[in-house]
Structure formats: structure tokens, C-alpha cells
Structure 1
Amino acid sequence: MKKLSIFASLFMLLAIFTASTASACTNYLVTRGASADGSNMITYAADSHVLYGELYFRPAADWAEGTMIDVYEWDTGKYLGQIPQVAHTYSVVGNMNEFQLAIGETTWGGVEQLGSQEGALIDYGSLIYLTLQRAKSAREAIKVMTELVETYGYYSSGESFSISDKDEVWILEMIGKGNGEKGAVWAARMIPDGYVSGHANHARITQFPLEGKTSISSDKMDKIFNPEIVNVYAKDMISFAKEKGLYPKDGKNKNFSFSDSYGPVDFGGARYCEMRVWTFFNRVSKDMDKHFDYAKGNIKLDKKGYATNRMPLWIKPDHKVELSELKDAMRDHLEGTELDMSKDMGAGPYGNPYRWRPLTWEVDGVTYCNERATATQQTGFSFVAQSRNWLPDAVGGINWFGVDDAASTVYFPMYCSATRVPKSFAVGNGKMMDFTNKSAFWVFNQVTNFAYTRYSEIHPEIRAKQVELEAKYQNFTKIIDMAAEGMFKADKAAAIEFLTDFSCNQGDNLTNEWREFYGYLFAKFMDGNIKTKDGNKQNPKMRQPGYSEKWKRAVANDTGDQLKVKGASH
């Protein structure tokens, strides 16, 4: 049988995550009835300190019978084995395929005894990209994903997946069965239209209906394409938990909670993970104050050990969510809350809402934590996937893509039908330890890391530029949509080439503009000064803002008389 070497090489290129990824990703989910323009949207931030941000591309292809795929673990590059290829695979740009299907993820680990499975061939990263190449809809994706792990074993620990297409948005949560058994237990729920959801490194599916016309177990997967079905779960989801002592043997099935059994919430699960979901919910609903105590890590448990004060899996927003609003949700640093990272002394003299890792630290034997906000310095790439059912698939799907810290990135439009990606975002253009100013990842990191030095002074300039460019792109796509839709009816291939050219041009132009922007910022803020041009004069205007009053008082208190200016003694 033939070995699929091209696919294997691609997976080697993608094997750039480390275990640090497994504790740091954020997904927000918006159904079309909850969005301002009627599109389904999901977000994803791929956060890892050693993840090199680039835009993956897999062209559609036909494969000879007997072709095999080499599978490598996404986090480490470890070779796991081979599985058969299907006859035809679909084109995939990033985490979105040509049919507007998009998949994101967050890792939550779960109970330790289920964290590894010897001999398993499918890890969560491979599961995402194999599925995007094989499924056309969210329901088909759930079927493909669960069948893959049942057939070949599940190599990863607990994982939540966001799955969206042009009509529906689903959340699928999965954990392996540990050594000795193949496969995984899982549960999937469709987000009701008009609602929003989210997950951020913690399992969130609790109790849900197990019977009736809306729910099926995995032994009835042939019914998953029935639109009335909105809950699907592994047939042994509860019996396996009872067997492993994760749920009482005499516990009633109707009271079973997937998350509380397979991934019980603790202080860290709430404070570092659920807090990120809370910030999104809080942006779109005025009813979230009642859940803030839980999000801060104050967990209340019942006799079973289940948390009794958890947030709902989904909420109905107070207003229709704009695309720009969802992008900004990915940029949150807990602003407007008592945990605002820019306000305490850890922010330094310039209100920097970031804390360098590790996440926890000790003083005099007492453990403290840094907040884990949605926007974080270690993001490799992030996206907002937008699927629109009133347009042809080639036009309707846009992967709004950005590299580096979401708070300072710019999301540019990448149409899902594109047959290539911008050179500055392409796989192989630079590496984590190989700098090149031709790479979007490095260009954006230059700007972002410069801003970290004097955040309150420099970031407002980034924000203004970000708003300007993203507004321009959204206006552009309105025109491109109309033009491409018209072209699509006459010449599909020409329309796809048109969309590809547009997407690639926007990405590469963005990198060039951001490179020049870095030069502007560096000249303006160099050496602790703020300089601006003064007409045609040789020397610029200059001001020296110094430090904040809060910081000056802190330094004065810390140094006592050491820095005090004194008069002459007599």
C-alpha cells in the first residue's frame, strides 16, 4: 500500500505544539440567530509559548485505493501510526474547509487515569484536520470524529471541540478511556439558535436529556442527520463512568453530568478557564454578575461532589452580536472587573495587562496566581470563523485570521475556498527560533513585544490601527461578496481565483503595512520619549511622560530616603 508522504510531511510541520498548549485555548460560539448579520461564528485562540503562528493549507485531492496516512501527535510530533485515506479529501484553509465547516478546540485534561491510551492512533489535533478533510457539515463532523477514535483509539486527554457550519453550531466534549480500552466517551450538544456559548480549557457539558426525540446514543448514529436530534452521546458514557468509580453505581442516569464526572471543576478550572467564558457572556448579557463568584474560583459542591453553582452551557444575549464585537471578545484582559490586570502593581508603571509565566508563584509559603485572561502573550494564531448560509459555500465562509496576541493582532479575511494562502502567513516561512521579517508572525511579535514595554502609551496606537484596518476589511468583503457571488454563477473557477487573490493580497499587504507600522512606533517611542514630527523642522516635538502617580508613590515608599533629593546641610 502507498504511503502518504506529503500528508506526513505536513503533519511534521504542524507538530509545533508542546504540553503548554494543552492548558491555554479559548473558544466562543455564536449561532446565526444571535449574530447581527445572521452568520454562525466560532472563535479559537491557539495558545502556546512555542507555537509558531502560520496559516495551514491542505488542497482538495483524490487518493488511490490503499493509500495510507502517517499520523503524528500534533503537540509533540510523535509518530503514532497509519490509517487508511479516504477516496477524496476536501480543501482546508486553517481550521475551515471549503464547505464552511470550522472546528476549534480547548484541552481540559480531565481525570488522570484516562489521560493516555497506549496504541491509540488519533490525537485531538489530527482529529480536527482529518475531519475537516472528510466532513461537509457539523453533524457529519461529529460522526467522523467519533468513528475515528472508536476505530483507531484516542491518544489525547479531555478535549472540547467547537464545530460550526453554515446552519448549526455544536460543542463536542471527549475523553479517552485510558489504557486497556480503545476509544473515548463523549457528548455533543447543538447550541440552540439565538444563543451563544463558550469553552476555555474546561469541560462544560453537564446534565442533558438522554431520551426522547431530541437525543440519541452512539448506537443510533444513523439518525444524527435528523434535524430534531440536538443531543448525541457515547452509548457507554454513563456506564463507563460508573465502572471507573466516577459516578455512583446507583446514581440515576438523568442526574449524570459529563463535566462533573470526567472533568470536575476546581479553583483553577473556574478562575483560569471558566472566567474566560464568563467575560464573553458578561459582554453580551447583563445577567452575569450572579456567576462572577463562581468564575473567581469559589466552588460549591453537593454530596456527589458536583458543583452546584456552575454557569449555564449557553445563554441568550441581550443583543445581536456583531463580528467586530466577537473579535474584541478575544482581546479581553478582564477590563471592567475587580480583576482588571492593568490596575494592580503587577502591571508596572504603564498598566501592562500581562503577567509573565509561570501562572502561580509563592511568597513566604503562600501561593498566589496570575490571572489567565483571554488575550495572552503566548498566542500563536487565532481566528473568527464566519459561516453564512445565504451565500454559495465558496463565498460564504470567511476565516478571519490573525497571528500573535489577539489584543494586538489584526484579523484579515481568508475566504474558505482559497486555493493558496498569503506568503507571509504560509507554513515554512520562518520558525520559532528562525527570525525573518518576511513572516507575519515575527512582524506582529515585534510590534506587540515593543508595546509590552510601555503598554499605556503604545497600545492605544495599535488599537486605533487595528480598528481602522478591520473596519476596512469588513467593508471590502461586502463588495467582494457581491462580486464573487455574481461570478460564481457564471464561472466557479474564476470566482474562486478572485477570492484567493483577494485573500492573499490582504494578508500580505497587512504584513507589509504592519512592518512599516513597527518602524513608526519605534521612532516615536524610542528611549522612553514620545516624539512627533514638527512640520518641516529638523527636530521633532518631544515630551517625557514619566511614570504614573501610583508607581511613583510605590517607588518612594519602597526606597525610603534613598532617592530623596535633599538640601545642603549647614
Structure 2
Amino acid sequence: MNTIPYLSACTSILVGKRASLDGSIIIGRNEDAKSAWPKHLAVHPRQDQSTNLTFVSKDNGFTMPLPSIRYQYEATPEWTDKYGLFEEDGFNEYGVAMSATESTYANSTVLGFDPLVSNGIGEEAMVTVVLPYVKTAREGVRRLGHIVEKYGTSESNGILFADNDEAWYMETGSGHHWVAIRIPDDCYAVIANQMIIENIDFDNPDDFMWSTGIQDFVATNHLNPAMDGQFNFRNIFGTHSQSDTYYNTPRVWYGQKMFNPDIEQDPQSQSMPMLRTPAQKISIDDAKAFLSSHFQETVYDPIGTGSEADKHKFRPISLAKTQESHLLQLRPNLPKAIGNIHWLAMGVAAQSTYVPFFSGFTKVPAEYQVGAANYDPKSAYWIFKLVGVLLDPHYLELNDAVEAAQEELAISYRQIILAVDQKAAALSSSEQVDLANAASLKAANLAMDTYRQLAAKLIAQSTDFSPLNYQQDLNL
């Protein structure tokens, strides 16, 4: 079992294609665990083995056979596999996107009847044993669901899937039971470490999926408190603790405040809905802004003007313990190699930049393949993290320079994407891969060069903030 605490406390977003500005399906998440725990970027090539393989977790010993054919997929693994892989997010060659996981918590009553399984599947293994073996988002839900039912799960989690047609959100609620919901095309969802799926319609398998026997399990053990007989997964399997009101629900409140500003809600409410239709269509930049947010323009902003009590009352969305933040954007009217974009921000999203990697890419920049627990100037994670470390002590004085660099990069990324889109249709499959590699490398190099220069600028500006300073009359 894991010998160090790996407290994943993420924030997620899913956006349906009619709720987005350009018809994209968008899923994404902040991977939050430790403030100095580097991530890498990897592309695993397609493999066709003569015999089936076996997966064995270094985290908890979870073991299962794998198919002989593994599809190409990308991922963001930890810098070390000592405690497990934690591959977390990416696309496969069939254009399936997966992000795993949003850590959630099941109540003790449910777990008393179906405990978590210590050597069952956990977060660290999910992407590795699911994403390379499915061709649609629905297949992803079914495969992971089958694994949970057969082997059990060691944790309660939320898992995001998408393809060019639909987005799904899945939750594991006990050792062997789970449900999943298709995100309606005109809706979005923001999720923050709570079970959030509400009423399950067992007569609608097009929009819901569930574990075998879950209705009998709940009925036999008298777990459903609903007077009207509805099967509300959140109420049956989830928690409603005081920690939820400070740690979790305020993040959902802020996301819904961003996308539905006219709706009045209490940030500590336990009854906010999972799904909403946004007041205006959500762009990829809006999704980035959500995952980069920290209660701006409210009294709860840790670097705002509220009281000290208010500034530290709630856990922000973007925070120091973010290892990486990602958005997986599926643009259905373009070839998958070009149309699907893996936006990856290493380190704290509010201080970093979302670099676009076109999902057909096969060549990972060298800087994204290195980086360990101590600072390494050749590591992409540490290149972006350094700017955050320099910014933190003097946020108000230095943040303008960081925001200016982020804005310039966002404009440049848009120009790179437009140039790729204009060329893509006339290219063969192999030429699309070459274009994806060239454009992804261009964006990554631009981002790293900009942040290296930004770090140098912040170091120079920081020299005058020393406490061993004195304002003297230069005429003396």
C-alpha cells in the first residue's frame, strides 16, 4: 500500500457540445496532491503482443490481465512510479478522452455493507488499464465499471470520459457499486470532491449506466432515505459533512456563479444541482479561467481584499498543491489528430499556462519527460513552477507581469491552432501526425521560453523586496 499520503483533492469540469462556444466537448480537472511533486507527459505507442499482459500496481498490489492489443495513448504520469503510475489524463488513438480521478467520499453506512477493497483498483491505475483499451466514452465507463464490480475499488472516485459525441461522468460509491451519467449536450457540470450524481433513471440506459444489482443492494440494506422513492445516488452513497461546506461546495458555488451569474446560491449549500445550462456558451478560455480561479472578485479570494477570516475560509480551486491542470477539448468537425487538443498546464494553473498538445502528437519535448522532487531547470514542470514560487511572496507587485505573459501566450496559441486547422483537411493521416508534432512542439517551446524569460524578470524585480533594505536619499 502507498507509504506516503497521496491526498488527491481535485476540481473538475465537463461541458456538453451545445453548451460550448464552438461545439467542442470539454472535460478537465486540476490534479491536486502535493506542492512539489512533478508530473511528466508521455505518449505510449500502440502495442500488439502475442500474449496477454498482466498489470500489477506498485501502490496496493491490484492485479488484472490486460488485452494483447494496447492502443496508442498519452498520459501525465508521476515523476516516479514508486507509489504508482497516476497517469491521470489523455486521449487515445480513437479519440477517447479520460481524466481520472476526482476524489470523493462515501458514507460509513454504505461502506458498512460494501467496504472498499484494499487491493482493488485505485486512481493510480485507472487510466493505464482503461484508456488504451476502449474506442468510445461509453466503452470506457463499461470497462471501468466491470473492473470495479469484479475486483473492487480501493477508493471512492469520480471519473471523466468523452469522445466526439458525448461526455460521461462516473462515480464509484462503495467497494463494488457505481453509476454514470451522460452530460446533456446543453449543460455543464463542475465537481469538487463530493459525490454529485443525483437521480438515476433506470429506464433510460442511453443517459445512465450503473453497476449490476445496485438497486437490490440499496433496497436490501435499507439505504435509500427518499420518501418519494427516487434513487438519488448523492444522497444514498455520498456525504453531507461540515468539511463539505468549507472544502467542497464553495468551489461548485463559484463555478456556477461564473457560468450562471444571475442565480443566487449560498456557497455552503448542500443542495446545488449537478447540471446547469449556462447563461452564455462556455469557451475553452472560460474553462481555463474556472480551473485557474481562486474566488476572484469575492471576499474569499486568498489574495483579495476580504478579511483574513474570509480569505482563508474556503479552499480555492487553483492552489499550491496543483501538480498539473488539464483540459481535453474534442472538436468533432476536424480529424482527431488535429481536432482533439490536450491543454496542459504544469504546476499551479493560476500561475502557469495551458499549452496545446494536438492529440495526434507522438514526440514529447525532452523537458516534459524529466523532473524529480528537487528543482531542475531542464524540467517543464519546474520551469513553470519556478515562476509561481517567485510570484508567491510578492503576488500583488509581480502578478501583472505574469498575467501579461499568459495573455501573450494565449494569443500565440490561438494563431498556432488556426494555422493547423487551415492545413489539416488536405493532409494524409501521417501528415496530420507530423503537423500535430510540429505545432505541439512549437507551442511548448514558446511557453517554456516565455516562462524562462519571465522567471529571469521576476528574479530581477524581486531583488528590491529584501527586508535588508533602506530607502536612501540618492543625493547624499
How would you bin the TM-score normalised by the shorter chain? 0.7 to 0.9
RMSD (CA atoms): 2.5
Query: For residues 158 and 523 of structure 1, what CA distance do their matches in structure 2 show?
Result: 46
Query: For residues 259 and 210 of structure 1, what CA distance do their matches in structure 2 show?
Result: 15
- 1:491-570 maps to which residues of 2 (within 5 A)? 491-528=428-465
2:113 corresponds to 1:117: no
- 1:21-420 maps to which residues of 2 (within 5 A)? 21=8, 24-49=9-34, 51-65=37-51, 67-72=52-57, 77-94=59-76, 95-104=90-99, 105-112=101-108, 113=111, 114=114, 116-120=116-120, 122-151=121-150, 153-177=151-175, 184-211=176-203, 215-216=204-205, 229-247=206-224, 254-289=229-264, 291-292=265-266, 295-296=267-268, 299=270, 310-341=271-302, 342-344=304-306, 346=308, 370-420=313-363
Query: For residues 54 and 92 of structure 1, what CA distance do their matches in structure 2 show?
Result: 11
Query: For residues 270 and 64 of structure 1, what CA distance do their matches in structure 2 show?
Result: 52
Contact 1:123 1:154 in 2 (8 A): no
Corresponding residue SS for 1:126:
helix
Instruction: Among all aligned residue pairs of Structure 1 and Structure 2, give the percentage whose two residues are the same amino acid.
Output: 23
Structure 1 residue 430: deviation in Å?
A: 1.8
Residues 165, 26 of structure 1: alpha-carbon distance in 2 compared, 3 angstrom cutoff: same
Query: Which of 395, 413, 422 is the aligned partner of 1:473?
Result: 413
- What amino acid is aligned across from residue 117 of structure 1 in structure 2? V
Deviations 1:171-215 (A, max 9, x none): 1111333xxxxxx2111111111111121110101213222xxx2
Contact 2:46 2:69 in 1 (8 A): no
Contact 2:341 2:357 in 1 (8 A): yes
Residues 343, 421 of structure 1: alpha-carbon distance in 2 compared, 3 angstrom cutoff: same
Structure 1 residue 118: deviation in Å?
A: 4.3
- What amino acid is aligned across from residue 381 of structure 1 in structure 2? E
Residues 431, 89 of structure 1: alpha-carbon distance in 2 compared, 3 angstrom cutoff: same
TM-score by structure 1 length?
0.74
Query: For residues 122 and 56 of structure 2, what CA distance do their matches in structure 1 show?
Result: 9
Query: For residues 543 and 242 of structure 1, what CA distance do their matches in structure 2 show?
Result: 73
Residues 461, 29 of structure 1: alpha-carbon distance in 2 compared, 3 angstrom cutoff: same
Query: For residues 118 and 22 of structure 2, what CA distance do their matches in structure 1 show?
Result: 46
Deviations 1:296-328 (A, max 9, x none): 2x55xxxxxxxxxx1111111111111111111
Query: For residues 12 and 192 of structure 2, what CA distance do their matches in structure 1 show?
Result: 6
Structure 1 residue 397: deviation in Å?
A: 0.5
Residues 497, 18 of structure 1: alpha-carbon distance in 2 compared, 3 angstrom cutoff: farther
Query: For residues 93 and 527 of structure 1, what CA distance do their matches in structure 2 show?
Result: 41
Corresponding residue SS for 2:426:
helix
Contact 1:395 1:417 in 2 (8 A): yes
Structure 1 residue 48: deviation in Å?
A: 0.8
Residues 115, 430 of structure 1: alpha-carbon distance in 2 compared, 3 angstrom cutoff: farther
Structure 1 residue 119: deviation in Å?
A: 4.6
Residues 118, 162 of structure 1: alpha-carbon distance in 2 compared, 3 angstrom cutoff: closer
Query: For residues 156 and 508 of structure 1, what CA distance do their matches in structure 2 show?
Result: 39
Query: For residues 253 and 81 of structure 1, what CA distance do their matches in structure 2 show?
Result: 41
Contact 1:207 1:255 in 2 (8 A): yes
Structure 1 residue 93: deviation in Å?
A: 4.4
Deviations 1:9-33 (A, max 9, x none): xxx9xx9984311xx1011111110
Residues 96, 196 of structure 1: alpha-carbon distance in 2 compared, 3 angstrom cutoff: same
Structure 1 residue 516: deviation in Å?
A: 1.9
Count residues with an aligned counterpart: 449
Corresponding residue SS for 1:315:
coil
Contact 2:371 2:380 in 1 (8 A): no
Contact 1:158 1:176 in 2 (8 A): yes
Residues 54, 390 of structure 1: alpha-carbon distance in 2 compared, 3 angstrom cutoff: same
Partner residue in 2 for 1:538? none
Structure 1 residue 156: deviation in Å?
A: 2.3
Q: Looking at CA atoms only, which structure, 1 or 2, has the larger radius of gyration?
A: 1
- What amino acid is aligned across from residue 161 of structure 1 in structure 2? I
TM-score by structure 2 length?
0.88
Contact 1:52 1:441 in 2 (8 A): yes
Partner residue in 1 for 2:372? 431
Structure 1 residue 98: deviation in Å?
A: 2.4
Deviations 1:97-135 (A, max 9, x none): 223321222011212435531453x22331223221011
Structure 1 residue 345: deviation in Å?
A: 5.1
Contact 1:16 1:51 in 2 (8 A): no
Query: Which of 7, 22, 25 is the aligned partner of 1:20?
Result: 7
Contact 1:62 1:87 in 2 (8 A): yes
Corresponding residue SS for 2:425:
helix
Deviations 1:228-263 (A, max 9, x none): x11122232232234445336xx6784221111111
- What amino acid is aligned across from residue 452 of structure 2 in structure 1? R
Contact 2:33 2:321 in 1 (8 A): yes
Contact 2:43 2:72 in 1 (8 A): no
Partner residue in 1 for 2:81? none
